Structure 1
Amino acid sequence: MSSKLVKGTAILTIGLFLSKALGLLYLIPLYAIVGKESMGLYQYAYIPYNIALSIAISGAPLAVSRFVARYNALGDYATGRKLMKSGMLVMTISGILAFLTLFFLAEPIAHLVIRDEEQIFSIEQITSVIRWVSYALLVVPLMSIVRGFLQGYNKMEPTAISQLVEQIVRIIAVLIGAYFVVNFMHESPEKAINFAVFAAFIGGIAGLGVLYWYWKKYKQEFNTLLDNSIQPEEETSFFSMYKELFSYLLPFILVGVINPLYQFVDMVTFNDAMKSIGRSTVSDVYLAMLNLLTHKFVMIPVMIATGFSMALIPVLTTYFTKNDQKGITRSLDQTYQIMMFLTIPLVIGLMVLSNEFYQLLYEQDAMGAKILASYAPVAILFGLFTVTAAILQGIDRHKWIIFNSLVGLLVKLVINIPLIKLFETNGAILATAIGYTIAVGLNIGIITKALQYRSRMVFRRIILIGILNLVMFVSVYFTLKGLTAFSAVDGKMHALFYILICTGVGGAIYGYLSLKTGLAQKLFGERLTRFTDKLGF
């Protein structure tokens, strides 16, 4: 596998981690500039934007990478290049349509989320902020087709670097713009939020520039492969090419849009449910904590699964095209194990240190910390859904992805309001967890049946990972208890100090046990084994 999968996963995961980390860290100064209440306005813009963006582009990189990888495996490099050229026009049109749709639906969406006069935002404010963010849809779709083409050649670095640069430029524009609007123009924080969401357009321009640089870098290599491309007996027509591509595209789009859709369900039902129990005055703030402030934390462990899925699909497609069942099985074994090995400790850290993390980034807030602790375990389900959906995509079970995803989403929609009325934000979290559990269970069932996949070794390894994480959990929990008994957390630097101590203890224990049991060496290969042999493990 596996060197290709591990290398590709590492590149994408590091890029995604840095991008997600920056996407979380910039909220610290933005929160300080605009305040807690205005952050709610920010999330009202980004959930519809993420849905429109996912529909416009989320399927494209993975679908295109799968398409290109399939034809490259057959030695036909001309068909992938043909798709690339025509796809630029298609994605430009897609971006324009997505922009117009979101721009003109902004007011109807605002009417859906404002359910009571006691809420802190007006319909006009939400309409304005959604329209400002919609401009990014004009440029971002172009990036997706280039990323997908390069990933089809197992060039993962351009995707990672372009995402990182896009995020950095966007964050700089957000913070400078918001600070200037509030402190020099003396406008309201709501005006600053309008500029902050427009920064997504500026970041998109920067990301597109990075991809153009990589295209120039690899162009000669691609042209050499194109010159040596086989000549198929019958040239692939545009109709058949796009028919095949769109057969991949809908499942990819649904996987990309499913998480924003779950958030959108919360966005359009949460305020109404809270109104019915007399909680409208805190509804906007609680929803911002759930859908933006804590969601940013929860998605950090998920980036591991996302990195795996993006690297896994071209590799699985190659094995599937060559009918290499052993290659598929090895890929699945390693993917499940490494994902769980890396994801679970991150989740445990967020749960145990929820108060310290929330105070470090935002402020001391018991409710925010409580929501984070409740929400963190759902990251495991998010990750499993992403990976299992990628596996189904790699083995051409596209219809099942659509069915399973929609079943989970329908369950969320049905039970969300009753659970919110009973448990408020925890009810929304529980509804999300139930919906994802159903979708993941169905995905695993289809994979097991389609591939006759059984692996006692993976099952035993996951149990071992669970035991190691339990030991780590106990050590971090009692370390934190000892620290807080000595001195309660007081301020951001104090919170950071406790986080560093606790994560250091937990990481050291988890790392030591993983090496001592040989688990880490088995998961990460010969290079780690040679290194640990020198240390006596």
Structure 2
Amino acid sequence: MSSSNFIRGTMLLTAASFLSKFLGMIYVIPFTNIVGETGMTLYGFAYTPYSILISVSTVGVPLAVSKFVSKYNSLDDYYTSMRIFKLGTVLMFITGIVAFFIMYFGADVIAKLFLAEEKKEISLEDAAHVIQMVSFALIIIPSMSIMRGFFQGNQSMGPTAVSQVIEQIARITFLLIGVFLIKVVWDGSNSTAVGLATFSAFVGAIASWVVLLMYWKNRKRFLSEKLDQQKKKVRIPRSKLLKELFQYAGPFVLVGIATSLYQLVDLITFDKAMVAIGKGDISTIAYSVFNVQGHKVILIPVTIATGLSLALIPEITKSFNLNQVDRLNKQINQSLQIIMFFVLPAVAGLVILSHEIYGGLFGIDNISIAGPLFAWYAPTALTFAFFTVTCSILQGIEQQKFTLISLSAGILIKILLNSLMIQLLAEKGAVITTLLATSVAVFLNLWRIKTSLKFSYRRFRKLSLLMLIFTIVMAILLLLVKWLFGFFISYNDGQLIAFVITIIAVFIGGTFYMYFGYMSTLFERIVGKRIPILDRIFRR
């Protein structure tokens, strides 16, 4: 695949992931207004263990299959690629069923881990109910993910991109209609509404499966032709295939659940630590800010890393296996630079406009707590993004085992310091601990890439300095816009006003930043070519 095809595939997945995450943020607005912060925290109780189990049940196999298929396709061994696809599908169906039984029948035990006994806002029965409802998605998602991995390994990003978007649309549509009917029309309970909301993951998974099966039907003949053209079919023992697959898969599962693991530590310790220091009255609101609503918002810039990572793995693997050193170094530089170019200014904007963004999206009722806490949480977008991409790079250069070390170091810091920091700094302590832990993990990954490949970060540092200068200029512009708005309106004037300020400020800041990047040729140097649509926009 050429550099332009690499960028095109990357941008396709990034755009699809961005749209998916954007929809995932937008639906939270009406959802929060219907079920409230308590309902959102209840929702988080279900989704954090679900996210972990969905990754554990797949054992990282979908992304590992992508890497596996890319490797053997580069060796023209399509027979082995097809074998691992079929073997992985059966394996994922079995582990999905097992994960479903664990989550459904262990819901009471899981719920007890999260709730402080002194808290009565959310009952144990309600928490167990929503956990059981989300568990049904575990039956179907693991085997569905295998097909996505197979298409990506064949350097076909379209099926994954389209199925992601359709899955999100089906899930959100079912969720919002169902919750509206239960709460508004029938005046039902929060537990019932949130339970149905978590069940929507199963509905979305079915919709995604249908899309992927349509792609499979259309492309099966092409894949069969490649298989028939293979003259020599080497039948590698099944045990050897599984061993190689799990060697790839182990690190993938931990990378996939990295964010959820940090949230799990908060889920277990946050409520209890806040009650212990006499702040149990705001713990539900605070937890919802940075682990539910706020996290949805920062996932939008992080999605750039996610889309890049999915497209990056097969390409890095191919370049490494073919010993194409210059191409490999260029791809690594591109991936790191794209993350910095998009996520750094996004973080600056989120910090400066934290009150306006949170108030405009989720209301200003608890803005005195939510605004400052959201500003503290925003920088984790950068560390989560870099962790995702650096782990993908390490996996592509056969250093996947090191990701276990870096993630373990980060999680260990989070476990050891979280309760202590909460007692010292209240709700901000949990956020600062996450930022510290993820920063350490990223630093370790960058160090390993450097030592393994003798990779130089000189170009990355040089361009990052230019991005930092542009971000500072943009930040000054945003502060000026806020100051001017202050003479007329403020986020305290209501949710709609806060939303209007956010839209105008983000448009101004984003436009100026992209203009700086375009006129300085920074964006062109990062992606490797001119972007026609930017030429047309800025020439006007």
What TM-score range do you get, normalising by the shorter chain? over 0.9
CA distance in 2, matches of 1:32, 1:168: 20
Equivalent position of 2:253 in the other structure: 253
In the TM superposition, residue 534 of structure 1 has moved relative to its aligned partner by: 10
CA contact (8 A) 2:37 2:284 kept: no
- Taking the aligned partners of 1:58 and 1:16, their CA distance within structure 2 comes to 22
Q: Deviations over 1:437-492 (max 9, x none)?
A: 11111111111000000142221101101111110011011111211232223233
1:272 equivalent to 2:275? Answer no
> Structure 1 residues 450-459 or 164-173, which shifts more?
450-459
In the TM superposition, what is the alpha-carbon distance from 1:117 to its structure 2 partner? Answer: 2.5
**Structure 1 residue runs without a partner (length 5+):** none
TM-score, length-normalised on structure 1?
Answer: 0.97
Q: Residues of 2 paired with 1:470 and 1:299: CA distance?
A: 22
Identify the residue that residue 227 of structure 2 maps to in structure 1. 226
**Contact 1:521–1:529, Cα closer than 8 Å, also in 2:** no
Bigger shift: residues 184-193 or 299-308: 184-193
1:359-508 alignment, distance < 5 Å? 359-364=359-364, 365-489=367-491, 490-508=493-511
Could you tell me which residue of structure 1 aligns to residue 517 of structure 2?
514
Q: Distance in 2 between matches of 1:23 and 1:231?
A: 47
- 1:4-403 matches, within 5 Å, as 4-57=5-58, 59-232=60-233, 234-364=234-364, 365-403=367-405
**1:531 Cα deviation (Å)?**
6.6
SS in 1 for 2:257: helix
Residues 134-160 of structure 1, C-alpha deviation per residue, up to 9 Å, x if partnerless?
Answer: 111011112110000000011111111
Q: Distance in 2 between matches of 1:241 and 1:382?
A: 32
Task: Tell me the amino acid that sits aligned with residue 40 of structure 1.
Answer: T
Alignment-mate amino acid for residue 224 of structure 2: N
C-alpha distance in 2 between matches for 1:381 and 1:501 = 27
Under a length normalisation based on structure 2, what TM-score does the superposition of the two structures give? 0.96
Larger mean Cα displacement after TM superposition, 18-27 or 102-111:
102-111
Shift of 1:335: 1.0
Read off the aligned partner of 1:422 and give its amino acid letter.
Answer: L
- Cα distance, 1:529 vs structure 2: 7.5
Change (3 A) 1:481 1:331: same
Report deviation, 1:302: 0.7
How has the CA–CA distance of structure 1 residues 531 and 137 changed in structure 2, closer, same or farther, with 3 Å as cutoff? Answer: closer
- Any conservation in 1 of the 2:489–2:497 contact (CA below 8 Å)? no
Residue deviations 1:232-255, cap 9 Å, x none? 5x4112111111010000100000
Unaligned runs of 5+ in 2: none
Letter in 2 for 1:287: Y
**Aligned CA distance change for structure 1 residues 25 and 147 (closer, same or farther; 3 Å):** same
CA displacement at 1:536 relative to structure 2: 6.7
In 1, Cα distance between the equivalents of 2:299 and 2:246?
Answer: 28
Structure 1 residue 103 displacement after superposition? 1.4
Q: Among the aligned pairs, what percent are the same residue?
A: 38
Q: How far apart in 1 are the matches of 2:532 and 2:465?
A: 22
Match of 2:263, SS state, is helix
Structure 2 distance, partners of 1:230, 1:500, is: 59
In the alignment, the residues of structure 2 paired with residue 259 and residue 387 of structure 1 have an alpha-carbon distance, to the nearest angstrom, of 13
Cα 1:530–1:192 change in 2 (3 A) is closer
Partners of 1:43 and 1:292 within 8 A in 2: yes
Q: Once the two structures are superposed, what CA deviation does each residue of 1:486-532 show, in whole Å capped at 9, x if it has no partner?
A: 22232333223212221222122212221222212222333437974
| Distance of aligned partners of 1:451 and 1:176 in 2 relative to their CA distance in 1, 3 Å threshold | same
* Contact 1:116/1:280 (8 A) holds in 2: no
RMSD across aligned positions (CA): 1.7
Cα separation, 2, equivalents of 1:33 and 1:533: 43
C-alpha separation in 2, matches of 1:242 and 1:126: 37
Bigger mean CA deviation after superposition, 33-42 or 260-269: 33-42
Q: Say if 1:531 and 1:410 are closer, same or farther in 2 by CA, change over 3 A.
A: closer
Give the superposition deviation at 1:271: 1.2
Count of paired positions = 536
The whole-number CA distance in structure 2 between the counterparts of 1:204 and 1:339 is 29
Q: Which amino acid aligns with 1:484?
A: G
Identify the range of structure 1 (478-487 vs 191-200) with the bigger mean alpha-carbon deviation: 478-487
Once the two structures are TM-superposed, the CA of residue 280 in structure 1 deviates from its matched residue by 1.8
1:487 is paired with a residue of what secondary structure?
Answer: coil
Partner of 2:293: helix, strand, or coil? Answer: helix
1:482 partner letter: L
- d(CA) in 2 for partners of 1:301, 1:333: 19
Q: Please give the alpha-carbon distance, in whole angstroms, between the structure 1 residues aligned to 2:143 and 2:28.
A: 27
433-442 or 55-64: which moved more?
55-64
State the one-letter code of the partner of 1:491.
G
Q: How far does residue 343 in structure 1 lie from its aligned partner after superposition? A: 1.0
1:248-305 superposed Cα distances (whole Å, 9 cap, x missing partner):
0010000001110110000000111112101222222221222101111111111111
Residues of 2 paired with 1:529 and 1:329: CA distance?
26
